[in-house]
Chains A and B, each alone.
Chain A
Amino acid sequence: MFSNFDFDIIIKSIPFLMEGMGLTLLLTFTAIVGGLALGTVLALCRLAPFKWLSFAAGTYVNFFRSMPLILVIFWFYFMVPFIVGRPVGGFYSVLVAFIMFEAAYYCEIMRAGIQSVRTGQVYAGQALGLTYKQNMRYVVLPQAFRAMIPILLTQAIVLFQDTSLVYVVGLRDFLVAADIVANRDNRLIEMYMTVALVYFVLCLLGTLGIRKLQNKFQTG
Chain B
Amino acid sequence: MDYNWDWSVLFCTVADDDIGCNQPYFYWILSGFRWTVSVAAAAWVIAFTLGSVVGILRTVENPILHGIATTYVTIFRNIPLLVQMFLWYFVFPELLPKEAGDWVKREMPLPEYWTAVVCLGTYTASRVAEQVRAGINAITQGQRYAAMAMGLRPTQVYRYVLLPISYRIIIPPLTSDFLGIFKNSSLALTIGVLELTAQTRQIEEYTFQGFEAFTAATLLYIVVTAIVMTFMRVVEGKFRIPGMISLGAK
Contacts and interface: CB of A to CB of B under 8 A. Distances in A.
Interface of A: 1, 63, 65-71, 74-75, 78-79, 82-83, 85, 151, 154, 161-162, 164-165, 167-168, 175, 179, 188-189, 192-193, 195-196, 199-200, 203-204, 207
Given A82-B1, A154-B250, A162-B80, 8 more contacts: A66-B226, A69-B186, A78-B211, A82-B3, A164-B83, A168-B190, A196-B87, A207-B77
Given A1-B95, A68-B221, A161 B80 contact: yes
B94 interface: yes
Nearest to A77: B210
A193 B92 CA distance: 10
B184 A199 contact: no
A71 B184 CA distance: 10
Contact of A193 (B75, B87, B201): B87
Contacts of B3: 82
B82 A200 contact: no
B52 to A, nearest CB: 23
Interface in B89-103: 90-91, 94-95
Given A66-B222, A189-B91, A195 B83 contact: yes
Interface of B: 1-3, 74-75, 77-84, 86-87, 90-91, 94-95, 179, 183-187, 189-190, 197, 200-201, 204, 210-211, 214, 217-218, 221-222, 225-226, 250
Contacts of A200: 75, 78-79
Contact of A70 (B186, B211, B226): B186
Given A74-B200, A200-B75, A63 B222 contact: yes
A195 B84 CA distance: 10
A70 B188 CA distance: 11
B38 to A, nearest CB: 16
Given A71-B214, A78-B204, A78-B210, A85 B80 contact: no
Closest 9 pairs between A and B when the two form their complex, measured CB to CB: A66-B225, A161-B80, A203-B78, A68-B183, A68-B186, A164-B80, A70-B186, A188-B90, A164-B82
